[in-house]
Amino acid sequence: MNIPQKTNSLQSYQTILYNRALHPELFTLKARRVLRHGPWELELWLMPGGHLLRFEHHAIVASELVTDQEDNLPELGVVTTFMCAGEHEVEHEFPKDRLTYMTAVQTETLSENLFASTYEEMAAHGREVGGLMHEWRTDAGTCLSLLDVQKYAKEAHVQAYHLLAPGGVVLRTQSIFELR
């Protein structure tokens, strides 16, 4: 699939944390996976250049959305939101639910050669670990979105990589959902 070139601006990417589940019809889903591990469930959605993570444990639901979509995003249940450009670390406690959410976000713009080698490295890593991946072509080159998950008894760790050929943009997030 060849998508017309869009200049990806780091200024448009944001992370939104919700205290509820979201509906898939709001997004262009390209891959989906549900993981159950002990007492929790984690649903992963990939969109071109973005993702949604839904962590659930009994009545606890927390959803992380990383997107460059600016319109038609749900406002109900927003806990916090921040722009992805640069480097950020965010932690949020859901005290009554005994859940801690932590994320670190890093963005960078790479030269064409460095982007190409990073793309090859991340695509190989995704295949090696069985990550949830989506690749697509633009006029500027091939793009990749990848989710890599580590499961623990009371935690889910998710590394997300979004490599966007227009502009050589790389967006990385490392998120943890931790039950206390």
Structure tokens at 27: 């997004």
What is the predicted pLDDT for the residue at 171? 97
What does the DSSP assignment read for 77-135?
TEEEEEE-SSEEEEEEEEGGGTEEEEEEEEEEE--HHHHHHHHHHHHHHHHHHT-EEEE
Q: What is the DSSP letter of 24?
A: G
Looking only at the bridges linking them, the beta strands covering 40-47 and 50-57 are antiparallel
Position 4 confidence tier, pLDDT thresholds 50, 70, 90: very low
1 three-class SS = coil
pLDDT value for 172: 97
Give the chain's mean pLDDT: 92
Question: Could you report the per-residue pLDDT of 32-64, keeping only the tens digit for each?
Answer: 999 999 999 999 999 999 999 999 998 899 999
| 41 neighbors 149 (Cβ within 8 angstroms) | no
- Using the predicted structure, report yes or no on whether residue 72 has a pLDDT greater than 60: yes
Q: pLDDT band at 76, cuts 50/70/90?
A: very high
Q: Which pairs count as long-range contacts for 73-77, CB under 8 Å and 24+ apart, including other chains?
A: 73/16, 73/26, 74/18, 74/22, 74/26, 76/20, 77/18, 77/19, 77/20
Q: Say which range, 6-15, 40-49, 60-69, 110-119, has the weakest mean pLDDT.
A: 6-15
pTM equals 0.91
Sign of the dihedral through C-alpha 70, 74, 76, 81: negative
**Which residue, chain included where needed, has tokens 């006029």?**
139
pLDDT-above-90 percentage for the chain: 83
Measure CA of the first residue to CA of the last residue in the chain; give whole Å: 44
Backbone Cα Rg of the chain: 16
- Least confident range from 39-53, 93-107, 149-163: namely 93-107
The C-alpha atoms of residue 75 and residue 84 are separated, in whole angstroms, by: 18
Task: Note the residue count of the chain.
Answer: 180
d(C-alpha 123, C-alpha 144), whole Å: 8
pLDDT (tens digit, 9 = 90+) per residue, 158-176?
A: 999 999 999 999 999 999 9
6 has pLDDT over 50: no
Please tell me the predicted confidence (pLDDT) of residue 9.
57
Render pLDDT for 13-23 as a digit per residue (tens, 0 to 9): 999 999 999 99
Specify the pLDDT at position 97.
78
